[in-house]
A and B are shown apart, each in its own frame.
Chain A
Amino acid sequence: MTPTPVLRLLGVGALAIALAACGAPPAKESSSGGTAAATAKSAADFGGVDKLVEAAKKEGTLNVIALPPDWANYGVMIKAFTDKYGIKIDSAQPDGSSADEIKAAQQLKGGDRAPDVFDLGLNVAVANKTMFAPYKVATWEEIPAELKDGEGLYYGDYGGFMSIGYDAGKVPAPTKVEDLLKPEYAGKVALNGDPTQAGAAFSGVMMASLGSGGSADDIAPGVEFFKKLKAAGNFLPVDPSPATIESGQTPVVIDWDYTNAAQTAKLVGKADWKTVVPTGAQIGAYYNQAINKDAPHPAAARLWQEFLYSDEGQNIYLQGLSRPVRLEAMTKSGKVDSAAAAKLPKTEGKQVFQTQEQADKAKQVLTATWAQAVG
């Protein structure tokens, strides 16, 4: 009987030591690009845009993550970048969340597959500042001050407002959030994700709150609205996706206006998909671009950034019916694609953008009450 307990003890002991000693593995040498590219803070550090393009082309690949092709026209953006510079883009996890992007960067750190650039909700961007490399694009000055971090760690790239997308052939056109409580919408209203997990759904509940008498500080009326929606039998607990919209499973979708608007073009002939930003409930948010500090392809990452914020890139965002961050400046300079700008979903009245503190407060309330409301 003696060996077994001894062995077990040894095993446990070894484990304890291992646990104590274990930390992260030593960082690998960066496999590509000199350290110069990794610390460049602007195109000037490369010696001009041409040198940047050269360095990026030498790297040859760019890793992006969580960029669905239908989202803010990223499909077109990726193709345009590849066509222009010949740099191959590897698009991982198109359906990932912002948190997935950070997790992937942490897990794949030092490897060739790590994401080079991030496109994050503000929440996740602020929380993970230490993972980003500062870089100021050529058009830095034209980005509104409240939408960028002072050091250039992250800044807004495109944004939109929360909207209601609907199949005009199946349901009447809603103008206010409360319209969705009507019996014509029974079993038809879907929210894009779980608000305690997905940023888009969280803003959806904020929109409902604004439309039900709440404010940027108060999310409770929004939760109450969904509770009523569920009680009326109108709430559909299905995750909407291009497939569900096309098949008619989710005739009404609460999501960003650019995501909803992207479906209109796709569904021509199959469904009459329209998007409306409800009056009095206009909550907007910008997504933020950042460069991975440990990017395997630092020059390509910075070139991608320059491309996104160039007139060409911003217009591609605009054609995807999202609002590029330089919209105001480009409208003034006349470089904006006015035909695309005219197609943006109309917003009138007060536009609300939540601050970080308001968002944090709302989250506490949401976590405590959401499950009960729709569970």
Chain B
Amino acid sequence: MVAPVTTSAGGGAAKAAAPGRGPARGNVLAWLVVVPFLAYVGVFLVYPTVLVLAGAFQDSNGAFTLSNLTDLMKGVYLQAFWRSIELSAITALLGAIFGALLSWAVASGRPEGLLRRVVVAAAGVLAQFGGVPLAFAFLATVGFQGFVTKFLQDSLGVNLFSGSAWIFELPGLTLVYTFFQIPLMVIVFLPALDGLRPQWREATESLGGGTWTYWRHVGGPILFSPFLGALLLLFANAFSAYATAAALVSQGSPIVPLQIRGFLTGEVLLGQENLGKALGLGMVVVVGIAMGLYALIQRRVSKWQ
């Protein structure tokens, strides 16, 4: 089986040995095929990121400085980081738990059934639309003029906002974020649940074990890694989220993405973009750690599949 040596428009000239063996002399030319992809990602992803990370270490004249980073460590910015982390952790946990439950409810149904199709399609949509429309949806529901607010006011005399306008602050953000965290969890976790073969369940039962035994000794351990991985992904997702917060919160910048917005669009304090880049660096570090752990867990999980 000798592959004909051809030059073609499609994949670059590859003087190849039979496909299946590792690349031999056609090595360099084989790399050429992936160069467009690498170049593209390099220009449109790596370059802007490097710009931001480099800018974090520069002052307004371009000289090297660590002052941006030290400024980060104090007061408002550090608080913003803590609040971001808190918000992300809480919504990740809520999203993971309820998302896992929902995934389980769906996975234990028929694979071709209507329920599954609807939930999967809805999850795909809602996980992405976590921005402006979602903020408005929540305002339409529990905002001052909202459906539920009015209902509670008129029928039960309960004023949702007697304490404060919580929906425009962190508690509101927490409620809104879970709306896209749960669907994301469903998308990520459902395949893992599908991986649980029914034979294992039957095997447990034939050995005399009950539901609890099954989950404790079979289902639990198998699902633990995917669950943890999904949790990390949700954390990273919430931490990076900007659009929803931008649409809801206008006073104060309680979380880091809003702080960065302030540096980009603010007209009161000028010339502090490098501090904004330092904030960006901080975000990349936090999210990078979460995603790094996620990737490690994915490696382990893929051994099962």
Seen from chain A, the residues whose Cβ lies within 8 Å of a Cβ on chain B are 3, 7, 11, 14-15, 18-19, 97-100, 103, 121, 123-124, 127, 187, 191, 193-199, 202, 233, 236-239, 247-249, 363, 366-368, 370-372, 374-375
Q: Establish whether residues A237 and B169, one from each chain, have CB atoms under 8 Å apart when the complex forms.
A: yes
Question: Is B161 a contact partner of A99 (Cβ separation < 8 A)?
Answer: no
* A99-B264, A374-B252 known, 8 other contacts, Cβ within 8 Å: A98-B267, A99-B270, A123-B267, A197-B266, A237-B250, A238-B251, A247-B145, A375-B79
Interchain CB contact (< 8 A) of A237 among B42, B50, B252: B252
Q: Are B168 and A100 in contact (CB under 8 A)?
A: no
Contact assessment for B269 and A367 in the assembled complex, using a CB-CB cutoff below 8 Å = yes
- Using CB atoms, name the residue of chain A closest to B77: A371
A15 touches B50 (CB 8 A): yes
Determine the chain B residues whose CB is within 8 A of the CB of A97 once the complex forms: 265-267
Known: A237-B169, A237-B251, A249-B144. A196 touches B268 (CB 8 A): yes
CB proximity of B73 to chain A, nearest CB, Å? 15
Residues in A with CB closer than 8 Å to B114 are: none
> Which residues of chain B are near A367, meaning CB under 8 Å?
76, 269
Q: How far is the CA of A367 from the CA of B262 in the complex (A)?
A: 12
Asked whether A194 lies within 8 Å of B269 as measured between CB atoms, the reply is no
Q: Determine how close the nearest CB of chain B comes to the CB of A86; give it in whole angstroms.
A: 33
- Which residues of the partner chain B approach A233 to less than 8 Å between Cβ atoms? 163-164
B163 — which chain A residues lie within 8 A by C-beta?
233
Top 10 A-B pairs, shortest CB-CB distance: A239-B250, A197-B266, A237-B251, A99-B267, A98-B267, A371-B76, A97-B267, A237-B168, A375-B252, A197-B262
| Chain A to chain B contacts (Cβ below 8 Å), 21 pairs | A3-B31, A7-B38, A11-B38, A15-B42, A19-B50, A97-B265, A103-B265, A127-B270, A187-B164, A194-B252, A194-B253, A196-B262, A197-B266, A197-B267, A198-B268, A238-B165, A239-B250, A247-B145, A248-B145, A375-B252, A375-B254
Q: Is B249 an interface residue (CB 8 A)?
A: yes
**Which residues of chain A have C-beta atoms less than 8 A from B144's C-beta?**
249
Q: Note all chain A residues with C-beta closer than 8 A to B250.
A: 193-194, 237-239
Please tell me if B75 contacts chain A, counting CB pairs below 8 Å. yes
B46 within 8 Å of A (CB atoms): yes
Measured between C-beta atoms, what is the minimum distance from B156 to chain A in Å?
19
Contacts of B220 in A (CB 8 A): none
| Nearest CB in chain A: distance from B90 CB, A | 18
